[in-house]
Structure 1
Amino acid sequence: MSDTFPEKMQPHPEFVMRGNRFQALTWDVMSPEQQAMTRAVLDGKRGSMQGPYNVLLRSPEVGQLAQQFGAQTRFNSSLPLALNELAILLVARDWTAQFVWWAHRRIAEEAGLSPALIQAIAKGQTVPEDLLPDVKVVHRFCSELLRHKQVSDATYADAVSHFGERGVVDLMATMSYYTLVCMSLNVDGYPLPDGAQAELAALV
């Protein structure tokens, strides 16, 4: 007997979702398209439905594309993990996206990003001078792009010299995906896990 089942007969996956304005969905109320997206997320490296997925499920075709894009930017970027996480933190700070910051600050620290740099970003302060060159390049590129919606010729040239044209595109892709994530969670008013405290104060 085959161990495979038709889609509608497969056991329901176990997961927990949270939401605020967007009420947390359960498996039984999902459409087939929403169920397919949920399985895709749970079967991937993330293995969890925490974060933007409860929002993105409302448009499952968009959500499916978005979660695939997100998996690429997070797990298959040409940039080293610490630098990719630096870009995510800068976007989270720009949006004051508490859940994204809460989740990715820990990943960034474990990847080797300087705690002093992370705290400076959180507080909107000048970053330390003794950063590694590649960290400086990513910080400058992302900061300019977020603040001015463009980058200078010198900043672009520096980024290409360190990471190549692919690296520049991968960096912009990470910033783009996490902009969608931050936007989704801020519109929802997405709650932090029980016991977690907001770590970002509003910047003047």
Structure 2
Amino acid sequence: MKETNRLPAFDRSIATSEQVAVLDEILSGPRGNLDGPFLSWIHSPELAQRAQRLGAFCRYDTGLPLRLSELAILVTAAHWRSQAEWHIHHPIALKAGLPAEVAESIRCNETPTFDDQDDRLIYDFATQLNETRRVSNETYAQALNRFGHVVIINLTGLLGYYTLVAMTLNVFETRTASQIDLPFPE
């Protein structure tokens, strides 16, 4: 991950024990890298520790298949026009089976055409929550019927967490080291 221009460069050789503990936990966990907001958050190690643990749950343990979690993340990344969040999660979403045309429509702020009803439901839920700050009774009832209360709670948490990530990446103008082309206009 590329350091930001808005924060001091992080130097592990002078890091506090709390900062090193957070980084080691992130690197030894399912992510295995520091892509995303972590090099921004590490300047506040307590926030970094709490947020990265929440993020690990939201990314890997919501009860949703990876394709649906990544779809919700892409909707949030597009809503916030988060360059790095999109850059990181777009290939993961495609590898998990999200059709490229669906992702491209989301990136272009167009309503996708869905072949899969679960994709449509997650898109509707995430889009409504991001755009109107609410979820309609109809969408909520469909999500409840399909996924149950626990998964809806977890999905809502995932959307909130990735909003925090997008805000962090945007405020500190974070990009991945390999990111040349930006998915959204600045």
TM range (shorter): over 0.9
Instruction: Give the alignment's TM-score, normalised by structure 2.
Output: 0.95
**Cα RMSD, aligned residues only:** 1.4
Residue 190 in structure 1 maps to residue 177 in structure 2? no
Number of the residue aligned with 2:23: 38
Q: String of CA shifts for 1:118-164, please: whole Å, max 9, x gaps.
A: 01000011211x43111111111111111110111111000111111
Q: String of CA shifts for 1:66-122, please: whole Å, max 9, x gaps.
A: 000001111112001000000000110011000110110000000000111101000
Q: Partners of 2:120 and 2:161 in 1: how far apart? A: 22
Residue 17 of structure 1: how far off its partner (Å): 5.8
Residue 191 of structure 1: how far off its partner (Å): 2.5
Residue 157 in structure 1 maps to residue 141 in structure 2? yes
Which has the larger Rg?
1
Residue 177 in structure 1 maps to residue 161 in structure 2? yes
Q: Partners of 1:172 and 1:200 in 2: how far apart? A: 24
RCO comparison, higher one (Cα < 8 Å, 6+): 2
Matches within 5 A, 1:43-192: 43-128=28-113, 130-192=114-176
Letter in 2 for 1:175: L
For the Cα contact (< 8 Å) 2:2–2:176, is it kept in 1?
A: no
Structure 1 stretches of at least 4 aligned residues deviating more than 6 Å after TM superposition: none
Letter in 1 for 2:45: P
User: Identity over aligned residues, as a percent?
Assistant: 34
Residue 57 of structure 1: how far off its partner (Å): 1.0
Structure 1 unaligned runs (5+)?
A: 1-15
Letter in 1 for 2:180: A
Structure 2 unaligned runs (5+)?
A: none
For the Cα contact (< 8 Å) 1:22–1:54, is it kept in 2?
A: no
Q: Partners of 2:115 and 2:90 in 1: how far apart? A: 17
Q: Partners of 1:80 and 1:39 in 2: how far apart? A: 27
Q: Partners of 2:178 and 2:91 in 1: how far apart? A: 17
